[in-house]
Amino acid sequence: MKTQGSTQQDTRPAGRRRALWLGLGRVAAGLLVPLALYYGLRAADVSIYVALLVSALASAVPTAVGIFRRRQVNGLSAYFTVMVIGSVAVSLVAGSTELLLAKEAVLTGVTGLWFLVSVRPTSSTSRPLAYSFSKPLLEGRLRWPDNFEELWATSSRWRRMWRVSSALFGIGIFADAVLRVVFAYTLPADTVPALATGMYAATSVLLIAVTNIYYLVCGVGNRRSALYEKDLAR
C-alpha cells in the first residue's frame, strides 16, 4: 500500500518529463511558427520588412503563454523572456532589412558573452550558465549524480568542468552570432530566416555533443572518477 508521500514521489518524474516536453514544444513553436508565418506572408507578396516584423512578434507568443499559465518566472524562463523581449525590441527599432535580419545575431552574441562572463561566478550562490541550464534536466538522471550542489561545494574538478563547458558554449554561441551577421549582409534576404532557424538546431546539437563528450572524459559516468573526490579547494 502506497502512502501519500510515496505517491507524490512516484508521480514527480512523470511531471518533470511532461514539463520538459511542454518546454521543448514551446521552443519548437517559437522557432517554426514564425518561420512558417514569414514565408506565408512572403508568398502573399508582403514586404520582407513587414514579414520579418510580424514573425518576430509571433515568436513572443509561446513564451508569453508559458509565463501567463505559470504566473511566475524562474531563472531559465527569465532568460528566455529577456531574449524574446529583446528580439521584439530590436525588430521595432531596426532601420533596415539587413539589420532586422541580423537581430538574432545581437541576441545570440549577448548570450555567448553571458556564458563567458558566468565562467567566474560573482558570488557564492552564482553558478556558470552551463551548470544552471543542466542541473534541472540532468541531476539524478542518465547516470548523473543527484547531489550537484554538494559536489560544487567539495570538488574543484566538478567546478572546473562546468566552467570549461560554459566557456565552450560561450565561444560556440558567439561564433554562431558572427556567422549570422555575415549571412544577413551577404545572402539573399529570403534565405536568411530558414538558414538562421537551421543554425539554432545545428549549433545546439554540436555544442551539446562536444560538451557531453567532455563530461564523459571528465568522468561523469564513473562514480570512482577523481571528479567525485572531495578536496574543498577553491
Residue 147 confidence (pLDDT) above 80: yes
Cα–Cα distance for residue pair 4/117, rounded to 1 Å? 44
Cα–Cα distance for residue pair 130/134, rounded to 1 Å? 6
Q: Are 168 and 207 in contact, with CB atoms under 8 Å apart? A: yes
How does pLDDT run across 73-131, given as a tens digit for each residue?
A: 555 556 666 666 776 677 666 567 788 888 778 888 988 998 999 998 778 788 999 99
Cα–Cα distance for residue pair 132/121, rounded to 1 Å? 11
Q: In terms of pLDDT, which residue wins out, 232 or 55?
A: 55
Sign of the C-alpha dihedral, residues 6, 12, 15, 17?
Answer: negative
Return the pLDDT at 36.
87
Residue 38 confidence (pLDDT) above 60: yes
Q: Are 101 and 192 in contact, with CB atoms under 8 Å apart? A: yes
How does pLDDT run across 153-211, given as a tens digit for each residue?
A: 999 999 999 999 999 999 999 999 999 999 999 999 899 989 988 898 899 999 999 99
